[in-house]
Structure 1
């Protein structure tokens, strides 16, 4: 019998008041059941928020290094279970074991970073206008934070929200994506083993309409941080700001890689291959468009097709290079876009087929796909696909490349492959993106610098990661002392 996993509320693992559950399957083999999870109700959300509200003041009163110590202990628990957690992640979300292990290790690094950073964050002396005055800026926790995350990085995205939230003295009510709740369940086990005080962290599974909306609209939630799709993100932002809550939303991308005629082609192809097909293209920062100067266009196309041909697709636990899509819905969406691309007149240079039969029979597999002869106005060049599909566009040179790169509704991550320093610096100035890369893939970021996008990629209210992540979860108090 499949185990029914529980919510974590006020330091206890609890069944939902509604008594219903939902089932999660391995996307590489849907006959493999990952587990059953609570289909929670508003009553469960209310209980979690009440627990967080009751715990928050005492938690905030602890000294910052003491709060950081709980992050450090949780990191040690994760590290001790890293192999198990990577396997859990692969089985639940589908990415390969090396990709999953990298995600787990990144979570450890984030926890250690915020455990140390919080020691000297939150109190800053300023120069006063008279010698008998003292002036300081103090940052205090906003209160109770509602965190809602996506399924594609189901371990590390929760950590990069939870770590700064609790480090700064907030309590948390967390809703994982229903596609991948088991990774975060085990994350909460690690915090529980680390001794996190009751009520500081609460985990509630279920639908967006019941749990997500319940968190966003709750009177005792003070801040909402969301990562997910553009359509849901817009709804989250509208719902949270209606009650004047603090809100940050990180949504999609249509990320370009510009390939200059000065680029080292082998390096450019490696950047494109990993950016487009790593984690099965299921990243908001994945390379979705390669914008290539006409003088090197044919060489690039030949090279990227060759690299796509050499990608082994299969079960992440079996050593494949690329795993399945995370759900039937994601697979269907990708296949629909592949049909759209062909209908619009783009050339399917490689891939495009669903993989079936044999080891693929019970999973959601698709070939890595390359489109050429893509026009900038085509939907496959404008809309986020969230699968292993790369659209290659030919441009005359830098000016057209920048125009095409910026000519979408998104502005999350962008890269250029070039050996021309002046061109690289110009690109950094001209590109409309929150994350700008030179000779690096569009995916992947450092943990101590801001992360977020322009235009429809982000609410543009607050960034995540580093000090920006800490600032989102704190309010500013300016203190004047006259002696």
Structure 2
């Protein structure tokens, strides 16, 4: 009997395990395969959408061991006020001089985009997907060339460019290919809530192109920040004019020319994508241009004020994605702090810390704090600086875009030390032996930072890791919320219910639980709160935000088939013949439509049948 009982319980346990595995692993896996691959088979294998292969030569400046002359001093300002100079931040090599556009030239550029968009607005999703698939193939086939171009103009490492420029762009392209049309199809909505009117009407929301949209993009990701708005604009049927940062004109011009080449190859109008090049002080004319229907701005808060003031002259709607002071909260029950330190290192020092969602503040509970300080102090000092597009040496961190903020970074470090912080590594510019004109700043580790220090509140946007000790969870949340920014945050802990509750209490636009920055993916809307900006790009919300959202109401198909049309009831027709009847009719209509008491509804129907009497 005991043996039978034991076997029964063993069988029951195995059954529970098998059922759990099936429900938790097999079913989600099958659903993922179905949703990602099976439902998208028509798009993936549509012959009309077959991408075209193309070859575009890499510019000589991006080739390995290019011998360009050094520019000294490093400045975008030329002796000619109409010219903008480009240089490699990692080496100081001169990349070229570019003409800053006049107002008339901006007018001409926007007009070209406006004319091209008229026909493009009527294009099919098949054509739009073919364009994106061709771009996708080109990027995949030329990953190294694109990273080399981005690195030459920004100073970052090839690995940082591959992760931050190529990977995220491919993800965005493929999400739009797979889900963009579904997002932009007319959205069916319920008709009126009123019982009688709801029986007569259908409703839907339609998404139509805005026209000419604009994007003002920052320099820290010269490929991804530029191509992201272009992808969304073209797929929604708009044309786009991009104003790139004057810091990365050389690469921006090549990237835009690449997209124009793809458009031309597909017999599409290359004027759909335009590039504006000018100094910041001349951008007001562009951002207040009456032919622009929307502006996406990626940059700093001070510049956003100018953009919004300028755009307000023509009431141009804007999405503004600004800086961050992202917190990385570590609870005391985190198991593997060594693995966690790797995430902190990547989140802080990738692209020399020049990331809007980079880790700006590591906030730890006491037990985790001391251990992490010990681990990170050993790791930070091993980081190697340089430029890996010209040499075979292993490089961890590249240059900053320029040295124009070095003085401010040192001031922030000095202020923190003066007020009690400990500087364990770095804190000053670094003169590279091979690239003495490069814009390098030492990887910096500051610990024991408090809210009384300037660096706690001010966005660093550089390779400085700050560590802050919290007394408990409530204190950690208060510290994370204790600055004017609210872009992204991360929370790490063993108990999901605890970290999930913390996520609900954080005042930011994005939160990653037991991970870092995974909310910056193609399917999710991205944007901040407070002084980190407003509006969203990315995901369904990003595509819809580039559309006219048009509400349309129509008679139900059966009524149209029977030839029944909407008409004004005689009792309500002008001139009103009997005020008392009209009043009775409309009050009864309200009762029938919105009263939940059945007897009142029956009486309302009777009164309507009598014409309001």
Match among 324, 341, 346 for residue 274 of structure 1: 346
1:231 aligned residue: 302
* Equivalent-residue separation in structure 2 for 1:75 and 1:333 (angstroms): 40
| 2:534 corresponds to 1:471 | no
Unaligned runs of 5+ in 2: 1-58, 62-79, 193-197, 561-613
| 2:220 corresponds to 1:159 | no
* Equivalent-residue separation in structure 2 for 1:445 and 1:50 (angstroms): 33
| 2:478 corresponds to 1:403 | yes
Distance of aligned partners of 1:332 and 1:154 in 2 relative to their CA distance in 1, 3 Å threshold: farther
1:332-411 to 2 correspondence within 5 Å? 332-411=407-486
1:88 aligned residue: 149
2:333 aligned residue: 262
| 2:199 corresponds to 1:110 | no
1:254-278 per-position Cα deviation (integer Å, ceiling 9, x unaligned): 1111111111312321221111111
TM-score (norm 2): 0.73
* Equivalent-residue separation in structure 2 for 1:276 and 1:260 (angstroms): 19
TM-score (norm 1): 0.92
Contact 1:257 1:415 in 2 (8 A): yes
1:23 aligned residue: 85
Q: Secondary structure at the match of 1:359?
A: coil
Contact 2:295 2:318 in 1 (8 A): yes
* Equivalent-residue separation in structure 2 for 1:105 and 1:418 (angstroms): 28
- Looking at secondary structure, tell me which structure has more helix per residue: 2
1:480 aligned residue: 553
1:10 aligned residue: none
Contact 2:512 2:519 in 1 (8 A): no
Q: Secondary structure at the match of 1:173?
A: strand
Cα offset for 1:249? 0.4
* Equivalent-residue separation in structure 1 for 2:94 and 2:147 (angstroms): 17
1:433 aligned residue: 508
* Equivalent-residue separation in structure 2 for 1:443 and 1:241 (angstroms): 34
Contact 1:56 1:169 in 2 (8 A): yes
* Equivalent-residue separation in structure 1 for 2:120 and 2:368 (angstroms): 58
Contact 1:413 1:442 in 2 (8 A): yes
Match among 340, 354, 359 for residue 287 of structure 1: 359
Cα offset for 1:480? 1.4
* Equivalent-residue separation in structure 2 for 1:382 and 1:127 (angstroms): 47
Contact 1:413 1:436 in 2 (8 A): yes
Contact 1:257 1:442 in 2 (8 A): no
Contact 2:215 2:242 in 1 (8 A): yes
Contact 2:211 2:238 in 1 (8 A): yes
1:50-77 per-position Cα deviation (integer Å, ceiling 9, x unaligned): 1111121211011222123222222223
- Looking at secondary structure, tell me which structure has more strand per residue: 1
Report runs of 4+ in structure 1 exceeding 4 Å deviation: none
2:279 aligned residue: 207
Cα offset for 1:442? 4.1
2:239 aligned residue: 171
Contact 2:261 2:270 in 1 (8 A): no
1:128 aligned residue: 191
Contact 1:237 1:247 in 2 (8 A): yes
* Equivalent-residue separation in structure 2 for 1:356 and 1:412 (angstroms): 33
2:380 aligned residue: 308
Distance of aligned partners of 1:20 and 1:145 in 2 relative to their CA distance in 1, 3 Å threshold: same
Distance of aligned partners of 1:267 and 1:439 in 2 relative to their CA distance in 1, 3 Å threshold: farther
Cα offset for 1:43? 1.5
2:315 aligned residue: 244
Contact 1:316 1:322 in 2 (8 A): no
Deviates more, 1:429-438 or 1:330-339: 330-339
Cα offset for 1:24? 1.0
| 2:119 corresponds to 1:58 | yes
* Equivalent-residue separation in structure 1 for 2:223 and 2:519 (angstroms): 15
Unaligned runs of 5+ in 1: 5-17
* Equivalent-residue separation in structure 2 for 1:269 and 1:67 (angstroms): 43
Cα offset for 1:425? 1.0
1:145 aligned residue: 213
Cα offset for 1:174? 0.8
Cα offset for 1:19? 9.7
Contact 1:150 1:228 in 2 (8 A): yes
Contact 1:19 1:38 in 2 (8 A): no
Deviates more, 1:187-196 or 1:41-50: 187-196
Contact 1:254 1:410 in 2 (8 A): yes
2:608 aligned residue: none
Cα offset for 1:131? 4.4
Contact 1:78 1:187 in 2 (8 A): no
Contact 1:77 1:193 in 2 (8 A): no
* Equivalent-residue separation in structure 2 for 1:350 and 1:441 (angstroms): 24
Distance of aligned partners of 1:336 and 1:325 in 2 relative to their CA distance in 1, 3 Å threshold: farther
1:8 aligned residue: none
Cα offset for 1:331? 3.3
Cα offset for 1:181? 2.0
Distance of aligned partners of 1:257 and 1:351 in 2 relative to their CA distance in 1, 3 Å threshold: same
* Equivalent-residue separation in structure 2 for 1:47 and 1:187 (angstroms): 21
Distance of aligned partners of 1:444 and 1:154 in 2 relative to their CA distance in 1, 3 Å threshold: farther
Contact 1:52 1:199 in 2 (8 A): yes
